[in-house]
Amino acid sequence: MPGVLFLCIHNAGRSQMAAGFARSLSGDKVLILSGGSEPAEHVNPVAIEVMNEVGVDIAGYVPQKFNDELLKSVDVIVTMGCGDTCPYIPGKKYIDWPLDDPKGQPLDVVRRIRDEIRSHVEELLSQL
């Protein structure tokens, strides 16, 4: 089973939305993980709200720091704005999605980010 790790700084917005879409769209065919370099205490409530609007519930997930175990258990690592704080492991496929951070953004902006993420996730899953 292929595995994908979605990484951003706080693991509270972009990476959680991406993981939510990937879980929803892939069923049990892909291992989906997410993490951050500086995890927040909880998932961004606006991200939870906009994901609920499209039928994807990410409220039960907790931001976590990425670790070697997460990195080694996947084939693809998708980074979203973590720059130099994202790890590099030789032999892994890396993809960077230049997405705005939803933190502190109004609903309409977070909806746009959500829709961009969904498009990226759909493309990624079609390639796995």
Mean of pLDDT over the chain: 93
Which tokens in the block code for residue 64?
């976590």
Q: How far is CA 120 from CA 6, 20, 77, 107, 126, in A?
A: 12, 13, 13, 20, 10
pLDDT over 70 at 103, yes or no: yes
Check if 86 is active-site: yes
pLDDT at 87: 72
Check if 8 is active-site: yes
Strand partners, 36: 8, 65
pLDDT at 84: 67
**Contacts with 54 (C-beta within 8 Å, 6 or more apart), sequence order:** 114, 118
Strand partners, 52: none
Q: Which band of pLDDT confidence, cut at 50, 70 and 90, is reported for residue 1? A: confident
Q: Report percent pLDDT > 90 for the chain.
A: 80
Active-site pick, 86, 99, 110, 117: 86
Check if 16 is active-site: no
Domains and CATH numbers, the chain: 7-127 (3.40.50.2300)
Predicted TM-score (pTM) above 0.85? yes
Digit-coded pLDDT (tens) for 20-74: 999 999 988 999 999 998 999 999 999 999 999 999 999 999 999 988 888 889 9
